[in-house]
Structures are given as C-alpha cells and as structure tokens.
Amino acid sequence: MSTTNFELPDVGEGLTEAEIVQWHVRPGDRIELNQTLVEIETAKSLVELPSPFEGTVSEVLVSEGTTVDVGSVILTVSIAADGRGADAGEQVSAAEADREFEEARADTASTIQHEGESSGSVLVGYGLGDAPSSRRGRRGARRAPGQGPAGADGAAQNAGAQAAKSALAEQAAATATEPASAGPKRLTSVPAASATPIIAKPPIRKLARDLEVDLQTVEPTGLVGEITRDDVIRHAQQASLFKNLETPAWGDVREERHAVKGVRKAIANAMSTSMFTAPHVTLFVDVDATRTMEFVKRLKTSPDFAGVKVSPLLIVAKAVMWAIRRNPTTNAAWTDEEYTVKHFVNLGIAAATPRGLIVPNIKDAHGMSLHQLAQAIEQLTLRARDGKTPPAEQQGGTFTITNIGVFGMDSGTPILNPGEVGILALGTIKPKPWVVDDEVQVRRVTTLTASFDHRLVDGDVASRFLADVATIIEEPALLLD
C-alpha cells in the first residue's frame, strides 16, 4: 500500500492560484477514476477536478474557502498494491450499502414528486406514465407486463395522462368551432384540481428552478398556453431588475469586509489595465430597429429555428462580424512593437453571472450560419449562468458585445476587454417617436455604443464601423445578400 499526493493542477493557461469551494469527498471515502473530488474557483470560472486514480481518501489537507497555489498538495490517497484503495473489500461493501440506501431514498423522493404533480394539473403531452427513468431500478423490483414503472399505479397514471390529452383535444376542437365574433381564446388548461395549471416541458421546468422563477407567475406565449424557454428567461431578466426594490436593513454591522479574490480580482485587474493603457474613444448612434424586431419575430416562428432562442442580439452579432470584414482594424490586437489584424472572429459575449462579469467567446463565429450562431449564443449564455464556462472559452477573444439593454439601459461607455481593440454595447429596444419620410411614427429604437482603442482605430474607421452595424440593424435583409 502506498500514499499518493493530489496537487492542485493548472486548469487554465497561466493559473497561479485557486480557491477551494466544495469538497465532494471525505477521509475514508473510496474514490474511482474520473470521480469528482473537489470544486475550485479560479479567476475565470468554477471547475470540477476529477480523480486521476483509484484509491481511498486518506486526508483532506485544505479546508473550503481557502486559496492555495497551483502545485500545492490538497489531498492524499491510499492505493493498495493491487491498485485499489486500502481495505478495498470493506470499502466496496460499504459503498454498495450506501448506493442501495440512496436508491431507496430516490424512490421515495420520486414517489412524493409524482404524488405532488398528480394532485394538481397534469403536464399536457408529458404524462406521468411511461416516463423514462434516469437511474436503474432497485433490486427485486419487477414490472408487470403492460404496466408502467410502478405497476398498477403506473397504468393508472397512463390512463390519467391519456384522459388529459383527450380533454385537451376536445377543448381545442371546441375552440376551433366557436364563432369568430367570440374573439380569440387561449387554450390554457385541462380540467384538473388546480385552477391555474402549468404547461411546460421538463427542461423548461428545470430552467425555471435554476433561475428561481415561479412558473405560476410567468405569462405563457407558446401553443395552447405552453410556457417556453423565452418566457422563463424574459421573466427572470425582469425579476432581476425589480426583486430588490425593498431596501434591506443594514443591521448592527457597520462595515463588511471582503477579500479581493477570484473573479472580482480578475475583473479589477483587467479593467484597470484596459482603462489606463488603452486610450478609449466612444461613439453613439440611435438606430431604428423595427425591421430587426420583425425579422426576429419571423425567425422565432420558422421551423428551421424551432427550439433555438432567437433575440436581437443574434442580429447584432451578425452585423458586427459584417462590419469587421469592412473595417478590419477593429478586430485586432495591439502591442507597443506591433499590431495584429485577425482574419477570424472569436466573438465575446459579456455575461453578468452571480460570480461577476465574465466574457466567454464563440470560437470562429465568423464562419457560422445564423442558426449555428443562435445555438452557440444560447449555449454560451446557459453555461455562463450555471458557472460552467471553461477557462479556454474565456481566452482568445477578438471582439466583444455587451447587451446592457436586458437591464433596461439605453446606453453606456463600455471598457475594452484586455487584448482587444473594440467593444459594442446594445441598449434597450423600445418604442419611440421617429421621423420616417418626413412623418413622425412610432418605431422600435435602440442606441448602439462602441468603444475602440484609439492607438489603432482612428475616428473615421470607428465611425464607419458603427454606421455599418446600424445599417444592418435598420435593414437586416442585407445579411441575406
């Protein structure tokens, strides 16, 4: 039997230290290859560290909340001569017992969840019967032929789900045959015990839980009153603006002191370096985004974009890359000795997360179709919100977009992401009076703001770039040429 040290690795280029956030193992635990040992916070993201070996945890050397240097020993593991942990037979038996206990507890939780859901409204089209299981069944459990996961109870749930579907079909048919004079009606529910049933797919319900959104308060826009991903995200963004309207009490503590570390330290260093080394020049322009909003609406109803989040940010991203091709020096890197013009775009999207501002980027965004770019932006946003953005995704950006419009802001003066010479801010898009053909009309108007490194980007280039982006926002059909 031997003891092996587990050292804090460099999980990102240039990482020197990280904070221990949460241990997933304790002394005496049997660990397997690639099992998650610990979650750490670097200057860029949360990272789960897997085990490179099998064995038994001997000692946890660093407590949670401690910042340690790369290369420091944070865990020791005992490995037996046969490659397994000390007392392997006993450990495996104990692990098996624990697994059986966890399965029994999961079965109980699952039963409680199904009872809770069946006592209210049924998810239309996603009945409780025949639900796929994400875990293996308990030993000794047997399923009667033709029955669902829980035998007779599963069959009863199947019948209830079928009844719900039939009720939905009958209500839809009745709605379709009503006179036009009665006006349009939204099909919102199936007769059930709950007065306000919620129609949402399981992934949407999970997203709502992750964003702390109460689905009862969300206005559905999907077919037959179904809550969509956009509905949940829109509600979460609105709630984030107004949930702190009540002024909290300060309490008895006169001051709070927080160590400058992690993401906050990285943000402070990056912004100070950028602001005091690169001379910023900032331009503003108001844009009629009415046609962009109409284009976004058409894309949302297109079968080609089904299941993909589409927003004005998508069109702005495409417009930025079009403007970069026409003004190449806006997509460059500067040093005192030379500057490098990039003939590719790693498009950064500034994301406000619970851990602070990060700027992950989409690699080679210039070569993506509109559909591919929409998927990439959605995946990037969800990873950032979950704190799962890998360090590599935050390196190598060439140009950044920050969407301050989601916070209700019209404009601002964005600071360059270090290593880049351009950044664009998209303000809120809202109805405003606008002159069209010498007549005042109500149009959807936004403000675009762009900052550049004036050492490389002159005023005329900056102005042409921003004018090009505005041109696409005013007439997105130009993207199809």
Enzyme catalytic residues: 454
Degrees, nearest 5: CA angle 435-436-437: 120
DSSP state of 20: E
For residues 192 and 321, what is the distance between their CA atoms, to the nearest angstrom?
51
Task: Tell me which long-range contacts 105-112 makes (C-beta under 8 A, separation of at least 24).
Answer: 106/135, 107/138, 111/150
For residues 313 and 123, what is the distance between their CA atoms, to the nearest angstrom?
32
Place of tokens 């460099």: 10
DSSP state of 328: G
For residues 420 and 418, what is the distance between their CA atoms, to the nearest angstrom?
6
Cα 181 off chain centre by: 43
C-alpha dihedral over 330, 335, 341, 345, to 10 degrees? -70
For residues 300 and 315, what is the distance between their CA atoms, to the nearest angstrom?
13
Degrees, nearest 5: CA angle 453-456-457: 70
Tokens of 160: 């209830």
Element (H, E) at 164: helix 152-177
**E strands in 236-323:** 280-288
